[in-house]
Structure 1
Amino acid sequence: MPLNIWLLAIRPKTLPLAVASIVLGAASAGTVNVGVLALALLTALLLQILSNLANDYGDGLRGTDGHERTGPVRVLASGQVSVAQLRRAIVVVILLALTSGLALLTLALGHDLAAWLGFLLLGALSVLAALGYTLGRRPYGYSGLGDAAVFVFFGPVAVLGTGWLMRPELAAAGIWAALVAGLLSMAVLNINNIRDMAGDAQAGKHTLALRLGLPRARAWQAGLLALAVLAAERLMTGWGYLALAGLWPLAIGLKLVLTREGTELNRALALTAKGTLILTVGLALGLVTS
């Protein structure tokens, strides 16, 4: 199987969201263990790849990714990957994520049984959330709950969880950081769902954007970005003002969302993910150097 097909399946343009959450979470703790950071990044990336593969699999089986789709080609719906091949890939990524996650907990938690139980529960919930978005009898992504799940798992779970692995305490910076990461991740998903509104409506996938309708979904996008910037302002100090460089791609992405439809929103999604990474890395730099 050509590598470019699997790159298409894992959706590289969305992966900066996982990096943003982990980096910001680590920095919010005020101290960074490089080994823990590396394993946390690997685990988060594998979980997001799992979610992307499962989404391709679930939507492909349900016929959601049809000819009217305006987003990037999906590998199952386009016939580039078979059901069996994609299912095997999902199993492999689950095993890799479990291995990475256990190594992370071993390094960060030692023999703290209570912490182990808590993080094992979070890990299990993360895997279930990745699979349950489009899989199962009642996938929550088809009921408009995907945005809430993205906020929870890319915000509080990823950011505060990473911060706790660095230093077992809840810092005020972590709360603001969780809001920034969660809101910006929701903004990326909202662009995806605005772009796919026509196809989702035909497939019975009632995303939040579809429920809101185009005008209110656009207004929601502006609101998410505004709230994220307000939360980010609480973290800006010293080198953290470099985060302002992320506002430019975010602004261009918002302009596209407010004025364009269809395939042009693919660029808006990529710009918003890029802006998220730049902004959060800038904030993280300020937090670790202040």
Structure 2
Amino acid sequence: MPGRYSHPLALYFAATRPAFLTVTLVACLIGLASAHAGGVSINALTATATVLFALVAHAGVNVINDYHDARNGADAANTARLFPFTGGSRFIQNGVLSAAQTGRFGYLLLASVVPAGLWLSWHSGPGLVAIGLAGLFFGWAYSAPPLALMSRGLGELAIAGGWLMVVIGTDYVQRGYFDSLPLLAGVSYALLVANLLFINQFPDRDGDALAGKRTLVVRLGTERAKWGYLIISLIAYAWLIGLAGEGHLPQKAGIAAFTLVLSLTAGRDLIEHAGDPQALRPAIKRTILAAHLHGLLLAVSLALFSGTSAS
């Protein structure tokens, strides 16, 4: 497998699981649209830098997750994973990179975000430092001991919090101050991203349990945990519809609620096949599609129909 990569840069880029970085790109688009909805003129330079380094931070979190899942044995024990959606990159298990190389690379990526964040805070305001630190904390604490929130059944909260920070931080860079709109707008998307993590825990359940990773699915068991997907989905969509109905978001933001069809059908499949990981591939694909479409429709509605939004 190492021979697949003609250049070390290609190898290390692949180690970041780049196909999954698009959830961060969408979060940035929501943040930029939120700032635009507040009447802010978007600065192309700082917007580009924000998106770039948000992606780098997400890449670092992915690599660090692989590193710690190798150290705790979860990826090695995971024989039911659904490639490429669950079970990590497998670079360590397949001998592409050593655990030490993976760990150094992941933490180097996170460290590289710090000077960029300081530069952006110099252009926008000191509040960005707090947002950035919160985002990095969620990303690090998700898998790294001693907190290892994913092993305590708190991974979903960490994921939702981290992606909400991306939306708020992207808005703040453009706006230069805190506003309620990115918080209100980002919650439904952050919950749908958390649902992606949640459904991915079902194929990984046995490996996680063997490694002592007490994820929410491991703690509850598949028969009880499977209902959590629908609960998270309904909270996300109720939040969006309620805010749009009350005028805190553009009423046309309700168009993003049409992705409920994808979430509900994925939830139906999960309820039916929770104990059969190999049958969950279509549900995971629809979960990915639901989150992305929801975020994109929300961003478009904020950017084009912001007249009725409230700050």
Shift of 1:92: 3.4
Matched, 1:286 2:273: no
Change (3 A) 1:198 1:136: same
What residue in structure 1 maps to residue 269 of structure 2?
256
Matched, 1:18 2:18: no
Match of 1:149 among 142, 154, 158: 158
What residue in structure 2 maps to residue 193 of structure 1?
201
Distance in structure 1 (CA, Å) of the matches to 2:139 and 2:182 = 23
Matched, 1:34 2:50: no
What residue in structure 1 maps to residue 190 of structure 2?
182
Shift of 1:242: 4.9
Distance in structure 1 (CA, Å) of the matches to 2:259 and 2:11 = 30
What residue in structure 2 maps to residue 112 of structure 1?
none
Matched, 1:88 2:104: yes
Match of 2:54 among 44, 49, 54: 44
Question: Counterparts of 1:128-167 in structure 2 under 5 Å?
Answer: 128-155=137-164, 157-167=165-175
Question: Counterparts of 1:64-75 in structure 2 under 5 Å?
Answer: 64-67=74-77, 68-72=79-83, 73-75=89-91
Change (3 A) 1:56 1:225: same
% same residue: 24
Change (3 A) 1:208 1:74: same
Distance in structure 2 (CA, Å) of the matches to 1:263 and 1:81 = 27
Distance in structure 2 (CA, Å) of the matches to 1:36 and 1:122 = 16
How many pairs does the alignment contain? 282
Secondary structure at 2:60 match in 1: helix
Which amino acid is the alignment partner of residue 45 of structure 1?
Answer: L
Change (3 A) 1:158 1:210: same
Distance in structure 1 (CA, Å) of the matches to 2:154 and 2:251 = 37
Which amino acid is the alignment partner of residue 136 of structure 1?
Answer: P
Shift of 1:53: 0.4
Shift of 1:159: 2.1
Alignment TM-score, normalising by the size of structure 2? 0.79
Shift of 1:230: 1.8
146-155 or 25-34: which moved more?
25-34
Distance in structure 2 (CA, Å) of the matches to 1:184 and 1:36 = 27
Distance in structure 2 (CA, Å) of the matches to 1:265 and 1:200 = 17
> For the Cα contact (< 8 Å) 2:203–2:277, is it kept in 1?
yes
Cα RMSD (Å) of the superposition?
2.6
Alignment TM-score, normalising by the size of structure 1? 0.84
Distance in structure 2 (CA, Å) of the matches to 1:33 and 1:251 = 38
Secondary structure at 2:201 match in 1: helix
174-183 or 57-66: which moved more?
174-183
Shift of 1:180: 0.9
176-185 or 233-242: which moved more?
233-242
> For the Cα contact (< 8 Å) 2:139–2:162, is it kept in 1?
no
8-17 or 44-53: which moved more?
8-17
> For the Cα contact (< 8 Å) 1:13–1:273, is it kept in 2?
no
Match of 2:283 among 268, 274, 283: 268
Q: Which whole-Å deviations, capped at 9, do the CAs of 1:62-99 have from their partners, x for residues lacking one?
A: 11112424133521133221123213322431243224
Distance in structure 2 (CA, Å) of the matches to 1:227 and 1:195 = 24
> For the Cα contact (< 8 Å) 2:64–2:106, is it kept in 1?
yes
Distance in structure 2 (CA, Å) of the matches to 1:94 and 1:276 = 25
259-268 or 138-147: which moved more?
259-268
Change (3 A) 1:71 1:60: farther
